[in-house]
Amino acid sequence: MARAHKYDVIVVGAGGAGLMAARYAAQHPGVSVAVISKLYPTRSHTGAAQGGVGAALGNVSEDHPEWHAFDTIKGGDYLTDQDVAEMFAHEVVEAVYELEHMGLPFSRTPDGKIAQRKFGGHTREFGKSAVERACYAADRTGHMILQTLYQQSIKDNVVFFNEFHVLDILIEGGECVGVVAYELATGQLHTFHAKATVIASGGNGRMFKVTSNAHALTGDLMSVVYRRGIPLEDPEFYQFHPTGLYKIGVLLTEGARGEGGILRNKDGERFMERYAPTIKDLAPRDMVSRAMYMEIREGRGAGPDNDYIHLDLTHIDAHIIETRLPDITEFARIYLGVDPVKELVPIQPTAHYAMGGIPTTINTEVIRDGDNTIVPGLYAAGEVACASLHGANRLGTNSLGDLIVFGRRAGIYAARYAAETSYKDLPRDEQDFSRALIDRALNGPGWERVSRIRQDLQESMQDNASVFRTEETLTKQVEVLKELKERYQKIGVEDQGEQYNTELMEALELGFLLDNAEALVHAALNRKESRGAHSREDFKERDDEAWLKHTLVYKDGEGVRIDYKPVTLGKYEPKPRVY
């Protein structure tokens, strides 16, 4: 295969955001589009999404985009950019109908409309009670989105480079002109020359020990842009989903609580009544995860070690459980040997979603500073990006919405830009940086093992930088990361082969994860308040006076530099969050 490629638009990532972007770019007359993905497209994590995509269709009860926008802003603890939330809540309605027209097999109401159910933080009339807003296809919504979009992309003649790992983006004269990728099957580097590049490479949950995220979610492109001088926005806001299977972290969708599931402590008490009297178990995830840990700390956790919580579905009609939540029911049976129809399911919070990421404008253009200076030719969408729709805490179902709304925007804007511009020159020796990364791993001394460093990273992040944080734990984690980075310099890869060298790729992915952890921990140490998913035990209150601003973390030599960007406010004044 040739190792130099030229496409008007290159999309990195074949999850929901990448495929949506590719489809839309391909519909622009005369624009050629290729997708590069380290996984086969339908193995992307979007396929694991269960519960639904939120849109105010009002099919089950009255609903309005305005209510959805408000819930998103309040759910994000007012760090959400309000213009973004308003746009999103309106466009996601259109985008869901589009998915329906592409053939996505949504579950249906008795009268044939797209079925909708309740989800955390989604309310009617600005917080009065929970509302049915999540459009779903049983508990396989993401799977259906991914299959549908993949079929459509094939129909639209998008070209796919599967099992190609992007290791670097090419910036020349301040503009993005393409990427360099490693072909897993042959061990060769390929240069992709592009007029516009869309990054849609998903999240980074693998830096934590207990996570719902697939193994491939190692934040590669967050690290790649960070190494190239582009900051990461709000990385300290990392979401823990309340209902992961005990010890293994496999997710049980919030849709389980949407269908009436209840969280109980060891005494059988429905403790969320004390923390969120109005919407109880359907409070936003940050609040529920914290409440669970409080119960455990105060000795009310279940099990022999009092270290988990019960999810109770036993009062729900077995037919509803089997038809609307078939996959998660199976997960509980297979992994824990527990039958949710008859028994309580042991759960604990699991690392789930990065609210922060590569900073973009509302139109998905990547920006490089607090003045919103655009990097021409570079776009980002999906979990890797930060627009910022989710602020300090994402509401359930708003990520799938994010993929289709911002994926579509990325495709449209990237194609438009590509159609108007000509190819810029590539940098000289454009593969050197990637070649050096690979050589260092292949020829390293091998005194340190990749799997050990990764385990130490995951355990220490879980202990020091997860649901609760303090100056002490974060300072400790800064030191731990320094040490891990030093150890990383001493790794070596045993497999020197060129075909399917997954050991080499895992080594490079660990390097990416370490950068992601560094940005998160420094930002968390710097932010001296509690807001959304960032909970400081030494600064328990939200402090709008000092901290109603976005963080931008830059790589600066061996350390980091922190800057800020204002939050775009709108009609909703920041208020205390009560549910």
Ligand X SMILES: Cc1cc2nc3c(=O)[nH]c(=O)nc-3n(C[C@H](O)[C@H](O)[C@H](O)COP(=O)(O)OP(=O)(O)OC[C@H]3O[C@@H](n4cnc5c(N)ncnc54)[C@H](O)[C@@H]3O)c2cc1C
Buried b (16+ CB within 10 A) or exposed e, 379-395: bbbbbbbbbbbbbbbbb
Q: How far is the CB of 473 from ligand X (least distance, A)?
A: 25
Is 143 labelled a binding residue? no
Torsion angle, alpha carbons of 404, 406, 409, 413, to 10 = -140
Name which position in 23, 28, 38, 531 contacts ligand X (CB under 6 A): 38
* Interaction of residue 245 with ligand X, rule CB under 6 A: no
Position 24, amino acid: Y
Nearer to ligand X, 248 or 478 (CB): 248
Smallest distance from the beta carbon of 355 to ligand X, in angstroms? 10
Q: Which of 22, 26, 48, 313 binds ligand X (CB under 6 A)?
A: 48
Pairing of strands 238-245, 4-12: unpaired
Is 44 a known ligand-binding residue?
Answer: yes
Considering only 9, 10, 11, 14, the residue that binds ligand X (CB under 6 A) is: 14
Residue closer to ligand X, measured from CB, 191 or 265: 191
13 labelled binding-site residue: yes
* Nearer to ligand X (CB atom), residue 221 or residue 504: 221
> For the chain, how big is the Rg over CA atoms in Å?
22
99: tokens are: 């998915």
- The catalytic residues are 285
In whole angstroms, the minimum distance from the beta carbon of 515 to ligand X comes to: 13
Beta strand ranges found along 217-359 (DSSP E): 232-233, 238-245, 262-264, 309-312, 345-354, 358-359
Give yes or no for residue 239 binding ligand X (CB under 6 A): no
Please answer whether residues 127 and 278 qualify as being in contact, where contact means their C-beta atoms are separated by less than 8 angstroms: yes
The size of the interface with ligand X (CB under 6 A), counted in residues, is 44
Is 103 a known ligand-binding residue? no
Token pair for residue 158? Answer: 């998008």
Q: Which is nearer to ligand X, 36 or 93 (CB)?
A: 36
Residue 202 sits in the site that holds ligand X (CB under 6 A): yes
Pick the closer one to ligand X by CB: 19 or 524.
Answer: 19
Annotate 254-284 with three-state secondary structure: CHHHHCCCEEECCCCCCCHHHHCCCCHHHCC
SS3 226: helix
Return the residue of 261, 382, 391, 411 that touches ligand X, per CB under 6 A.
Answer: 382
List the one residue from 72, 123, 141, 434 that touches ligand X (CB under 6 A): 141
State which residue has the least CB distance to ligand X.
15
Contacting residue, 49, 130, 262, 313, with ligand X by CB under 6 A = 49
Q: Which of residues 165, 280, 324, 542 is near ligand X by CB under 6 A? A: 165
Q: Contact between 200 and ligand X (CB under 6 A)?
A: yes
Phi–psi pair at 354, nearest 5 degrees? -90, 110
Specify the residue, 18 or 391, whose C-beta has the smaller distance to ligand X: 18
Q: What strand order describes the sheet that includes 262-264?
A: 238-245, 345-354, 309-312, 262-264
> What's the per-residue H, E or C state across 176-212?
EEEEEEEECCCCEEEEEEEEEEEECCCCCHHHCCCEC
CA–centroid distance for 401 within its chain: 12
Q: Residue 400 interacts with ligand X (CB under 6 A)? A: yes
Name the token pair of 373: 């200076």
Q: What is the DSSP letter of 302?
A: B
Is 37 annotated to bind a ligand? Reply is: yes
> Does the annotation place 120 within a ligand binding site?
no
Closer to ligand X by Cβ: residue 79 or 180: 180
Site mask for ligand X (CB under 6 A), range 339-378, x = bound:
--------------x-------------------------
Only one of the segments 25-33, 90-98, 399-407, 439-447 lies at the binding site for ligand X (rule: CB under 6 A); that segment is 399-407
Smallest distance, ligand X to C-beta of residue 475, A: 30
Q: Interaction with ligand X in 248-307: which residues (CB under 6 A)? A: 251, 253
What are the start-end ranges of the H helices in 325-470? 326-331, 398-420, 432-443, 450-464
Please state, in angstroms and rounded to a whole number, the distance separating the CA atoms of residues 369 and 375.
10
- The length of the chain in residues reads 579
The answer to whether 15 contacts ligand X (rule: CB under 6 A) is yes
User: Which of 7, 11, 18, 521: binder of ligand X (CB under 6 A)?
Assistant: 18
Buried b (16+ CB within 10 A) or exposed e, 496-532: eeeeebebbbbbbbbbbbbbbbbbbbbbbbebebbbb
Cβ contact 453:487 at 8 Å: yes
CA dihedral (54, 123, 80, 481) in degrees, to 10, reads -80
Under the binding rule (CB under 6 A), the answer on residue 118 touching ligand X is: no
Binds ligand X by CB under 6 A, chosen from 213, 329, 477, 530: 213
Among 22, 36, 491, 567, indicate the residue that binds ligand X (CB under 6 A).
Answer: 36
Determine whether the annotation assigns residue 483 to a binding site.
no
The answer to the question of whether 454 is labelled as a binding residue is no
Q: Tokens standing for 50?
A: 């269960």
Binding test (CB under 6 A) with ligand X, winner from 9, 11, 17, 25: 17
CA 270 to chain centre: 30
Residue numbering of the annotated binding site for FAD: 13-18, 37-52, 220, 383, 399-400
Residue numbering of the annotated binding site for substrate: 241, 253, 352, 394
Return residues touching ligand X (CB under 6 A): 12-18, 36-39, 44-46, 48-53, 141-142, 165-166, 200-203, 212-213, 216, 220-221, 251, 253, 353, 382-384, 397-400, 403
